[in-house]
Structure 1
Amino acid sequence: MRPFLLLSIRAEPAAADDEHAAFARFLGVDVDDLPRRLLGVDDVSDVAGGLDRWSGVLLGGGSFTVSDDAAAKSPAQVRAEADLIPILDAVVAADHPFLGACYGVGTLGSHQGGVVDKTYPEPVGPLSVTLTGAGAADPLLAGVPRDFAAYGGHKEALSTVPPHVVVLATSTACPVQAFRVGEHVYATQFHPELDLAGLHTRIDTYATYGYFDPASAQTLRDAGAAVDVRHPMTLLRNFAARYAR
């Protein structure tokens, strides 16, 4: 089988390793069979021209915010975004299987001409997500109920949707929770790889990154534990079942 490829922006070892393990677990592959590349650090020059090597490409989340002023972006973020542009160019042109989680909405959404800004942030923790009619009919979301709980937390979101983009899921606080470009290119605002243990790791890792008051960390852990989050992972199982080759 051709492997899936995970593109990462996480430089924080605990969160990066947990994300990698979670994507592998819910895809149903061994972590050693899910190559990982750190954007802006590892060489990804072969990805755009070699998509046929991969069953699909996944993009994890992290602390980068696409809509930040360019002057405020760190050199690492600038390099990561520069790495990602030709990959997204190639993925969209080929309609190659792609799933971007959280950061995927910002990067793919802006790449496709949408407006990504800070109009619809959501706090770290559990979210209530609702499928649209298109989402209920989409094979990536097969087996997911119309209303379900997920974990997330973000500073930016897609606030203006390009006409060719299909919105698959929404929430009260954030109108675009998932979308599709073409037939096989996806992004979610919530994290399909994130379980409760992973949420705790990210709360610990990003307590000082401006997502929440560090003093509220235990409250966020408790809120996460009070909700049964089991359905988002179905997206990764469906992604693997549909695209593994």
Structure 2
Amino acid sequence: MKPFLILQLRPEAEASDDEYAAFLAKGGLSADQTRRIRLESEDMPDLDLADYSGVIVGGGPGCVSDAPEKKDPLEAKIEAEILSLMPQITAQDVPFMGCCYGIGILAHHLGATVSKAQYGEPVGPSLCVQTPEGAADPILAGLPDQFHAFVGHKEAVQHLPEGAVHLLSSGPCPFQMIRYGQNVYATQFHPEADSAGFELRIRIYKNKGYFPPEEADSLIHMCRAADVHAPDRILRNFVSRYAR
């Protein structure tokens, strides 16, 4: 099997390792079925995407919509490197799953507005609802019409990119999952995240502006009580569909 390319952006080793382990577990992958690149610690190598079954992009603290002069230099480097792959991915319809940060990258590349104007969501579970197009999409096969997923984002896609298909919405954030072409997907939520993983991220990112630090314990309690398991199926479906 050709490996899946997993691109990660998190500068905190503990968070990055936990996210990678979640991608493996929820996707039904072993480490030798992936190529992991931590873009915060290494440069993007020359890649031939034909060598991979698909591309998975994880989340991170950066915001696509931040003004260039306000971007952390490392975050700007990572953003530029991922964006450099998007013309080939969208033109050749390379299987792609962008998780949280990935929807901003995809939408920005497609010319849509990504900003903090509206649709940001606090840390916690969000109720996602399938659109008619989502109900017919193979990557959402076997999922209920409505399910909770973990979110936490300052920016969001403000309108559906031209040529994209709307698959999932929520009350606070209309664009929870989109598809471009037949094989390029992105979610605003974290399909790999379960309660334990999100608890770890709350502890690591409690001083990153996602929520008042004093709310960390109550958010952890809320996440522990949440029934979040359906999003796992998205990664499993993606891997099953595109493994080759």
Q: TM-score, normalised by structure 2?
A: 0.97
Aligned to 1:43: 43
Question: How many equivalent residue pairs?
Answer: 243
Aligned to 1:115: 113
Q: In structure 2, how many angstroms separate the alpha carbons of the residues matched to 1:159 and 1:43? A: 31
- List aligned pairs for 1:93-132, cutoff 5 A: 93-118=91-116, 119-132=118-131
- List aligned pairs for 1:55-134, cutoff 5 A: 55-118=53-116, 119-134=118-133
Cα deviations by residue, 1:5-57 (Å, 9 ceiling, x for unpaired): 1101101011000000000111111234322112254232322xx01111000
1:151 counterpart = 2:156: no
What is the letter of the counterpart of residue 33 of structure 1? Q
Q: In structure 1, how many angstroms separate the alpha carbons of the residues matched to 2:33 and 2:175? A: 32
Residue 171 of structure 2 aligns to a residue in which SS?
coil
Aligned to 2:15: 15
Q: In structure 1, how many angstroms separate the alpha carbons of the residues matched to 2:49 and 2:150? A: 30
**8 Å contact from structure 1 (residues 39, 84) kept in 2:** no
What is the letter of the counterpart of residue 128 of structure 2? V
Aligned to 2:211: 212
Residue 199 of structure 1 aligns to a residue in which SS?
helix
Aligned to 2:197: 198
**8 Å contact from structure 1 (residues 129, 147) kept in 2:** yes
Cα deviations by residue, 1:110-141 (Å, 9 ceiling, x for unpaired): 10011101111101111111011101100010
Residue 160 of structure 1 aligns to a residue in which SS?
coil
Cα deviations by residue, 1:207-243 (Å, 9 ceiling, x for unpaired): 0000001110111111112221111010100001100
Residue 84 of structure 2 aligns to a residue in which SS?
helix
Compute the displacement of 1:81 (Å): 1.4
**8 Å contact from structure 2 (residues 2, 52) kept in 1:** yes
Q: In structure 2, how many angstroms separate the alpha carbons of the residues matched to 1:129 and 1:164? A: 22
**8 Å contact from structure 2 (residues 10, 40) kept in 1:** no
Compute the displacement of 1:78 (Å): 1.2
Compute the displacement of 1:163 (Å): 2.8
1:26 counterpart = 2:9: no
What is the letter of the counterpart of residue 131 of structure 1? Q
Q: Which runs of 5+ in 2 are unaligned?
A: none
Residue 229 of structure 2 aligns to a residue in which SS?
coil
**8 Å contact from structure 1 (residues 123, 153) kept in 2:** yes
Residue 145 of structure 1 aligns to a residue in which SS?
coil
Identity %: 47
Aligned to 1:237: 236
What is the letter of the counterpart of residue 8 of structure 2? S
Q: In structure 2, how many angstroms separate the alpha carbons of the residues matched to 1:187 and 1:111? A: 12
Residue 109 of structure 1 aligns to a residue in which SS?
helix
Residue 35 of structure 1 aligns to a residue in which SS?
strand
Q: In structure 2, how many angstroms separate the alpha carbons of the residues matched to 1:5 and 1:33? A: 9
Cα deviations by residue, 1:125-178 (Å, 9 ceiling, x for unpaired): 111110111011000100111110111100011012223111100000001000
Q: TM-score, normalised by structure 1?
A: 0.97
Residue 96 of structure 1 aligns to a residue in which SS?
coil
Q: In structure 1, how many angstroms separate the alpha carbons of the residues matched to 2:163 and 2:20? A: 31
Q: Which runs of 5+ in 1 are unaligned?
A: none
Superposed CA RMSD: 1.0
What is the letter of the counterpart of residue 61 of structure 2? S
Q: Which runs of 4+ in 1 moved over 3 A?
A: none
